[in-house]
A and B are shown apart, each in its own frame.
Chain A
């Protein structure tokens, strides 16, 4: 079991702006951590730095509080599985899996049995003599995983392990990664650009934007307690309302709202609420004064989109506009131009620093 610590990590190629800029994260021993970020944010670079395939411009990489910066990749025991498998095409499946053991001069008989065990573990027994080209994409991915695991690394680094797979294969692969992770308990770092992939795969997620970590948390926290507008936006948040928090109320140019007091400090802030948490009601004939729910404002549906499993609306409130997502069957009732009451349930809103 190994704890991986990246401290003040900087990576710059030539004279260009740094790809990784002051990256700090501690990856807990035995955890399955996802590094999530848009393409080009430096995720793969970070994996290569951990694996020793790149040398950082500045900063520290520690395994269990021991610097590994000086260790060559082959001595680092952090093995990387590349996105496109990279099975050596001129070697059989078994020779691919046994590659790392051969490099370590493991005796042939032991090598063979360990390779067989590992192919068993990834649920691909009896394919050792085939060529990589004869395997499906999902099988290739599993062989690549077996090839990395067979050398019993301290740290397993997976680059976009699900992105090359079809939907049903993704589920299979996710389960396999989970079961292997719980069986072996290797500290695992997964890199992905897909927030769904990160959420279903990992027990911890680190969001990487513009070369540095913006938030490290449980997957759920990114939806409920994002650390900044940028984080919220990355997770599909689109409603942001600036205002000032005083006396237990959040005052904005379209009204004042109750917010959970523990979340905010006095002063200017930004209120955010996920589109699926925004309530929209059709006002009753007598007007909306009858049942004055908390945190409601009057608005007008500006546009709507039928999405099959959901319906999406853009609602104008004063000079602001909000996105709301409802059940699909409400689509017909909420046509464009319809006056509505918009509700921000107090337990669902979240204040961000300005």
Chain B
């Protein structure tokens, strides 16, 4: 038997919610926000423990004036843009292709989502065994008489165009975006498209004016997630990328683990650039969706 205090019923409920949230908020604030702040402080050369109490922008000046950093930024952006764009296009195509099958057979859905469970690291190793100049594709090319030596096969791993990295991302992220698109296609059904066809829209027009607007609300967030992830991912460029220029996360890690401890603030500055970029992408996305949902 419980006696409840009527006046504070709402306040109690509010308190209960915040009590449930407190552990998670503590973890996020202490670790994530704390880590960011610690990184920011260090990047500003603010480190009272060793007597640095005057924050300055030296590390940022050094990093932004460094050609290694700028080329790395360019490479990272290029990889993320290209991988995200190719994955998105392939994902929509694959979802449309698989739609009739998936609606009938859950097994196809399962198979399509299978490599979601394959860690990026494993995917990257697989790609290197497949595409490197000594890899399986190169050997097949030789047995087909197309090449003579490993060096005849085009460099696809640790290559200037980061093809190996992009292929790994496309391989892993296409099913991710595709499944989001498939889920939307399955939930809205085919009635809208049938209605458009009977109103006189051609196949392409139906795709352009009916299917695309239907899947965009899922496609765009999924693509944004992929972009932000590939921008900050470490494992794949670490395994499949060139030593220089490398991507920002690898560069940050290398500067951080450099024997020269003076490079640490610069590593922190690079990691702040990565965090800032992903925050920027997400807030731009949020602002856009809010704008569209209002308009």
Contacts and interface: CB of A to CB of B under 8 A. Distances in A.
Interface in A39-56: 55-56
Interface stretch (B3-11, B107-115, B202-210): B3-11
B1 interface: yes
A347 interface: no
Contacts of A55: 4, 6, 9
Query: Shortest 4 CB-CB distances between A and B: which pairs?
Result: A70-B3, A72-B2, A55-B4, A75-B1
A14 interface: yes
Interface string A58-71: 10000000000011
Interface of A is mostly: loop
14 contacts: A14-B10, A55-B4, A55-B6, A55-B9, A56-B6, A57-B6, A58-B6, A70-B1, A70-B2, A70-B3, A71-B1, A72-B1, A72-B2, A75-B1
Contacts of B10: 14
Nearest to A75: B1
A58 B9 CA distance: 12
Interface residues of A, number: 9
Contacts of B6: 55-58
A160 to B, nearest CB: 27
B16 to A, nearest CB: 15
Interface in B1-25: 1-4, 6, 9-10
Interface residues of B, number: 7
A56 B6 CA distance: 8
A113 B3 CA distance: 35
A67 to B, nearest CB: 11
A55 B4 CA distance: 8
B3 to A, nearest CB: 5
B198 to A, nearest CB: 32
A162 B9 CA distance: 34
Contacts of A58: 6
Contacts of A75: 1
Nearest to A74: B1
B278 to A, nearest CB: 37
Given A55-B4, A72-B1, A75-B1, 5 more contacts: A14-B10, A56-B6, A70-B1, A70-B2, A70-B3
Contacts of A14: 10
Nearest to B3: A70
Nearest to B13: A14
A55 B9 CA distance: 9
A71 B4 CA distance: 9
Interface of A: 14, 55-58, 70-72, 75
Interface of B is mostly: loop
Contacts of A72: 1-2
B69 to A, nearest CB: 52
A148 to B, nearest CB: 21
Nearest to B9: A55
Contacts of B9: 55
A58 B10 CA distance: 14
Nearest to A58: B6
B7 to A, nearest CB: 9
A56 B10 CA distance: 12
B113 to A, nearest CB: 25
A72 B4 CA distance: 9
Contacts of A57: 6
Contacts of B1: 70-72, 75
A58 B2 CA distance: 17
A122 to B, nearest CB: 31
Nearest to A13: B10
B42 to A, nearest CB: 45
Contacts of B2: 70, 72
A68 to B, nearest CB: 11
A224 B2 CA distance: 46
Nearest to B4: A55
A229 B206 CA distance: 53
A354 to B, nearest CB: 38
A194 B184 CA distance: 36
A71 B2 CA distance: 7
A50 B158 CA distance: 72
A57 B3 CA distance: 14
A104 B9 CA distance: 28
Nearest to B10: A14
B176 to A, nearest CB: 30
Nearest to A56: B6
Nearest to A55: B4
A75 B19 CA distance: 27
Nearest to B5: A55
B147 to A, nearest CB: 60
A9 B1 CA distance: 21
A17 to B, nearest CB: 15
B30 to A, nearest CB: 32
A65 B193 CA distance: 63
A103 to B, nearest CB: 15
A45 B57 CA distance: 61
A57 B8 CA distance: 10
A61 to B, nearest CB: 13
A57 B4 CA distance: 11
B269 to A, nearest CB: 47
A58 B7 CA distance: 10
Nearest to B6: A55
B211 to A, nearest CB: 34
A71 B1 CA distance: 6
A16 B140 CA distance: 72
A14 B13 CA distance: 11
A271 B4 CA distance: 49
Contacts of B3: 70
A239 to B, nearest CB: 43
A58 B1 CA distance: 20
A78 to B, nearest CB: 15
A260 B119 CA distance: 86
